Amino acid sequence: MKKRIVITGLGTLNAIANNVPDFTRALQNGACGIGAIDLFDTTGFRSQTGGQIKNFIARDYIPEKFSMKRMSRADKLSLAATLEALHDAGLYPSPKELKEEIGIAIGGGAGGLLEAEEFYSDYLKNNGKDANFCKLSSLFCASSTDCNASTFGFSGPKITFMTACSAGATAIGYARDLIVNDQASIMIAGGVEPMCRLTYAAFNALKSVDPATCRPFDKNRAGLSLGEAAAIMVLESLDSALNRGAEIYGEILGYGITCDSFHMTAPDEQASGAVRCMQAALKDGCLHIEDIDYINAHGTATPVNDVTETKAIKEVFGKRAYSIPVSSTKSMHAHTLGASGALEGIVSVLALHHGFIPPTINHREADPLCDLDYVTAGSRKADLRAALSNSFAFGGNNTTLIFGRYSGRGAAHE
Amino acid sequence: MNDNRHIDNTQRVVVTGIGLVTPLGIGKDEFGRRLFTGETGIAEIKSFDTSKLSSHRGAEVTNFNPRDFISVKNLRRMDKISLMTAASARLALDDANFRITEANRDRVGIILGTSFGATDITVQFLTNLFNGGPANVNPMLVPNTVMNAAAGHTSIELGFRGVNTTVTHFAVSAENAIAYAAAEIRRGTVDFIFAGGADILSEFYYKSLTKFHVLSPQNKGRESCRPFDKDRNGMIVGEGCGIICLESLQSATARGHKPYCEIKGLGMGSSPTKPNAWPQNSDGIKLTFSRALKNADISINEVQAVFAAANGDKILDALEAEAYTAIFDSSGKNPFITSLKGAIGESFSSGGIKACAMALSMEKNILPPVAGLANPLKPLAFVTEKKKELEINNAALAGISFGGAYVYMTFSK
């Protein structure tokens, strides 16, 4: 019998909350974290707003005994979120005998680019004179994975994912498989994405950003809002969780990956990649369309994505599509790119665990082409069995995760 | 709700094709010929000026004409790393004698490892931004600033739509990718999958590496790459792409294609190490190697060859040699050790090229010599001077990264 993999710890910092309990309340209240940003100068760009993490002082989260030397903002954010998740899972400090069996899978994007950009800007100004190249030492995303492993002393598998906006979701899916395949007992899995100039400039240049605040599924939507986040889950087998007496938030039921093979930055308007991806996740979990009670949409609020995703959901779920609530929480915490799949995975798990459906905020006018239930009038209480979360990326990478509410040892089997 | 009619995870995974764009040549024939005769692709760097830098040599890909492999329609959208990746995948596909059709394209995928991605494009993009402000940004560059661009372009060029992921983890990027791809075949989500690694040399990236004092000649002396040599003085950076095709044994047999070898054992692990630093001892290497052997259910005496990670770095090579000295016993049946880095340089995702070389070695029963090795640092069975002919039934691929991450794999006949 296949191992069941459950979630026993959560940690996040994002535009609407700097910890999981606050995040749950913010999601229930429909908080908006998108506004002015001060990490860098936005003058001259199409938009000036974003979903920046508020009041992040790393030392408030990371104990003095842990060195933060040469760590980037991304490294610090992922470390803070991992600490919260480990605490939550009862794994901090981690028992010595478990450390060899704990691995880390993180999905990233910009990594230490925010700091590297400052270096490179000075480098250009000074024609390369007196440049301190050490500032590039935490540039690459794998650095966040390594910082986590070295800080906590883990010796399990380490891997970092770089599939743009689906990286965080892929990290969680693959981490599940590493436990199923006995390569690790416990996995720290998730994503981290800091805001940075390159990403901001890139999305602005493609005119994919809304100059105002993003409005997923709204008729007048004009693009996404960029954000940043760290989002980490602790995964382990059900047996391991029960043996440790850990609280179980939910379980990973299904995981699917496909690619569009269509265009590098635009989704296939036939939605084939997205359709096959949701179907692959359902098949992986041996689930039927009737089993899904909530969809956390990719829902970027670009004109094309929201129509395409709606079409894909209708193709996969048929008539049932109209009775499944679909929301884009990017309307609150913005699009956190490499972290988004993991952040929205946490949203899905919290929805299942606490019994609510988070809303799509900022939605004012219905789009006839987007005609599903987007939960636009605030969050709802609901008894949910399983939630599906979509992540679609540049490069045509699609990942779908399906999470289930944990309702006892035997429940998910028969 | 879960009726558990699940994946059986028992599919045997075989290597059925290899594709190479490397400093030693394009395609397996030229690569193999030069590798087994002990040639090196390391030379003075030609594509940019190194006169003001502390190192001048590299292993560059030369004589690569993307037009030989890639359609004109897609070619103009692709950057250097994407071109190398798509070309390698095309070569591997042809070598596997596999045809991607409308009927099977959703069951064909790719897992690519890249350590640093398109460093050339990132630098160009930021140079435009910082020199000219937001108005000077070129939207055409954007798609190639993401690390998953190469795999995305490859899927478009070859027309497959299954599992597609890009992984990175410094010097074990490609090994992680191959391990992941093998798991996908076992899981049954794809029938055919490309796996490997790609990285490129670019000017600013090379310059940065010289500032980190990891390139030969670290402590002066002759600038050269000498894996496992007493007198080694740092690595020489390379570039290139190596892609292998994986499928289930069942699938290869059904279409009458003889595989190179089977991927049998997989071990993953790490040492708690400061980012960018080397671990303090070789415990993590030993543990990971033993995990792979256990996973394959073979003993060290059944392994005839190790394709090492050693690249001429002072610490890495010593740690790796120390681990093998500890693992190997006194039976005299210990594996021969070879490293490709003296021939292809260190491209960090060179695990893809290493896997291709291992497949070729097992097919031909020849081990390539360690180019650059004259005075071994330990009395281990290194393949020195010239190639070694012997029956190779099991071989191990070593992936070791700074920051303390390891992936070991065993390939079997």
In a domain, B88, yes or no: yes
- Residue B199 in contact with residue B346, Cβ under 8 Å? no
Query: What is the residue type of B11?
Result: Q
Domains, in order of start, for chain A = 5-244 (3.40.47.10), 254-405 (3.40.47.10)
337-396 in chain B: CB under 8 A from chain A = none
A146–B403: do the CB atoms touch at under 8 Å? yes
* Of the candidates B241, B242, B202, B238, the residue with the CA atom closest to the CA atom of residue B60: B238
In a domain, B183, yes or no: yes
**Chain B interface mutation, best of A78, A129, A158, highest count of B Cβ atoms under 10 Å:** A158
Say which of B149, B155, B208 has its CB closest to residue A133: B208
Say which of A183, A386, A397 has its CB closest to residue B148: A397
**A52-106, pLDDT tens digit by residue?**
999 999 999 999 999 999 999 999 999 999 999 999 999 999 999 999 999 999 9
Query: What is the residue type of B231?
Result: D
The pLDDT of residue A414 is 34
1-40 in chain B: CB under 8 A from chain A = 1-7, 9
Å from A217 to nearest chain B CA? Answer: 25
- CB burial of residue A211 (10 Å; 0-12, 13-18, 19+): middle
In a domain, B259, yes or no: no
* Of the candidates B61, B83, B148, B143, the residue with the CA atom closest to the CA atom of residue B353: B61
CA-to-CA distance for B124 and A316, rounded, in angstroms?
A: 41
- The H-or-E segment that residue B296 falls in is helix B283-296
**A319-364, pLDDT tens digit by residue?**
999 999 999 999 999 999 999 999 999 999 999 999 999 999 999 9
How many alpha carbons fall within 13 Å on the CB side of residue B381?
A: 16
Q: Which residues of chain A make contact with B287, given a CB cutoff of 8 A? A: 100, 155
* Residues paired with B59 in a beta bridge: B42, B238
Q: Over its length of 413 residues, how does chain B's per-residue pLDDT go in tens digits?
A: 333 334 456 789 999 999 999 999 999 999 999 999 999 999 999 999 999 999 999 999 999 999 999 999 999 999 999 999 999 999 999 999 999 999 999 999 999 999 999 999 999 999 999 999 999 999 999 999 999 999 999 999 999 999 999 999 999 999 999 999 999 999 999 999 999 999 999 999 999 999 998 999 987 899 999 999 999 999 999 999 999 999 999 999 999 999 999 999 999 999 999 889 999 999 999 999 999 999 999 999 999 999 999 999 999 999 999 999 999 987 778 999 999 999 999 999 999 999 999 999 999 999 999 999 999 999 999 999 899 999 999 999 999 999 999 999 999 99
The dihedral through the CA atoms of B216, B220, B226, B228 has a sign that is negative
CA-to-CA distance for A130 and A122, rounded, in angstroms?
A: 10
Same domain, B335 and B401: yes
B106–A159: do the CB atoms touch at under 8 Å? no
**Chain B interface mutation, best of A130, A150, A209, A279, highest count of B Cβ atoms under 10 Å:** A150
Same domain, B220 and B285: no
Å from B270 to nearest chain A CA? Answer: 4
On whether the pTM is more than 0.95, the answer is: yes
In a domain, B4, yes or no: no
Q: Which residue of A has its CA nearest to B9?
A: A181
DSSP track, A309-354: HHHHHHHHHGGGGGGS-EE-THHHH-B-GGGHHHHHHHHHHHHHHH
In a domain, B162, yes or no: yes
Supply the range of the domain harboring residue B291. Answer: 264-412
- CB burial of residue B10 (10 Å; 0-12, 13-18, 19+): exposed
Residue B86's CB is within 10 A of a number of other CB atoms, namely 30
Say which of B142, B168, B186 has its CB closest to residue A265: B142
A259–B133: do the CB atoms touch at under 8 Å? no
Say which of B189, B276, B287 has its CB closest to residue A280: B189
Query: What is the residue type of A113?
Result: L
ipTM: 0.96
- Residue A298 in contact with residue A328, Cβ under 8 Å? yes
CA-to-CA distance for B392 and B371, rounded, in angstroms?
A: 20
Higher pLDDT, B330 or A411: B330
**Chain B interface mutation, best of A79, A163, A276, highest count of B Cβ atoms under 10 Å:** A163
- Of A141, A165, A214, A370, the catalytic one is A165
B115–A140: do the CB atoms touch at under 8 Å? yes
Say which of A137, A160, A288 has its CB closest to residue B276: A137
Q: How many CB pairs under 8 A join A and B?
A: 247
**Chain B interface mutation, best of A115, A187, A264, A406, highest count of B Cβ atoms under 10 Å:** A264
Q: Which residues of chain B make contact with A47, given a CB cutoff of 8 A? A: none
What are A374's two structure tokens? 């987007």
Å from B328 to nearest chain A CA? Answer: 23
Same domain, B315 and B362: yes
Same domain, B85 and B44: yes
Same domain, B311 and B380: yes
Q: Which residues of chain A make contact with B114, given a CB cutoff of 8 A? A: 162
CA-to-CA distance for A371 and B171, rounded, in angstroms?
A: 48
CATH code for the domain in which residue B325 is found = 3.40.47.10
CA-to-CA distance for A388 and A291, rounded, in angstroms?
A: 10
How many alpha carbons fall within 13 Å on the CB side of residue A99?
A: 17
A397–B9: do the CB atoms touch at under 8 Å? no
Given B254, B273, B303, which residue is the final one in a domain? Answer: B254
Q: Which residues of chain A make contact with B115, given a CB cutoff of 8 A? A: 140
CA-to-CA distance for B367 and B12, rounded, in angstroms?
A: 25
Residue A413 has pLDDT above 70, yes or no: no
Q: Which residues of chain A make contact with B5, given a CB cutoff of 8 A? A: 286
- The H-or-E segment that residue B269 falls in is strand B261-270
B270 SS3 class: strand
In a domain, B278, yes or no: yes
Same domain, B97 and B243: yes
B266–A183: do the CB atoms touch at under 8 Å? yes
Q: Which residue of A has its CA nearest to B158?
A: A261
Residue A407 neighbours by CB under 8 Å, 6+ apart: none
Say which of B155, B186, B272 has its CB closest to residue A396: B155
B152–A1: do the CB atoms touch at under 8 Å? no
Same domain, B210 and B312: no
Helices A142-152 and A73-88 meet at what angle, rounded to 10?
50
Q: Which residue of A has its CA nearest to B130?
A: A121
Query: What is the residue type of A257?
Result: I
Residue A270 neighbours by CB under 8 Å, 6+ apart: none
Residue A394 has pLDDT above 90, yes or no: no
Same domain, B311 and B404: yes
A261–B6: do the CB atoms touch at under 8 Å? no
B144 SS3 class: helix
For this structure, is A335 an active site residue? yes
Residue A1 has pLDDT above 70, yes or no: no
DSSP track, A147-212: HHHHHHT--S-EEEE--GGGHHHHHHHHHHHHHHTTS-SEEEEEEEE---HHHHHHHHHTT-B-SS
Total domain count, chain B = 2
- Hey, which bits of B27-133 come out as E strands? 42-44, 57-59, 108-113
Q: Which residue of A has its CA nearest to B271?
A: A155
- Of A147, A214, A298, A333, the catalytic one is A298
In a domain, B3, yes or no: no
- Of A141, A333, A335, A363, the catalytic one is A335
In a domain, B7, yes or no: no
Å from A308 to nearest chain B CA? Answer: 17
- Residue B87 in contact with residue B7, Cβ under 8 Å? no
Cβ–Cβ contact B219 with A under 8 A: no
Say which of A202, A258, A291 has its CB closest to residue B161: A258
Given B254, B284, B316, which residue is the final one in a domain? Answer: B254
Same domain, B67 and B197: yes
CA-to-CA distance for A11 and A19, rounded, in angstroms?
A: 6
Same domain, B226 and B290: no
Mean pLDDT of A306-320: 97
Same domain, B247 and B278: no
Cβ–Cβ contact B100 with A under 8 A: no
Say which of B126, B137, B268 has its CB closest to residue A157: B268
Same domain, B170 and B285: no
Residue A49 neighbours by CB under 8 Å, 6+ apart: A34, A35, A36, A37, A42, A212, A213, A225
B409 SS3 class: strand
The pLDDT of residue A410 is 65
Q: Which residues of chain A make contact with B404, given a CB cutoff of 8 A? A: 146, 149-150
- CB burial of residue B87 (10 Å; 0-12, 13-18, 19+): buried
Given B193, B219, B254, which residue is the final one in a domain? Answer: B254
Q: Which residues of chain A make contact with B89, given a CB cutoff of 8 A? A: none
Residue B199 neighbours by CB under 8 Å, 6+ apart: B81, B114, B115, B116, B117, B173, B239, B240, B241, B347, B348, B349, B350
A133–B211: do the CB atoms touch at under 8 Å? yes
The pLDDT of residue B5 is 35
- The band of A263, judged by pLDDT with boundaries at 50, 70 and 90, is confident
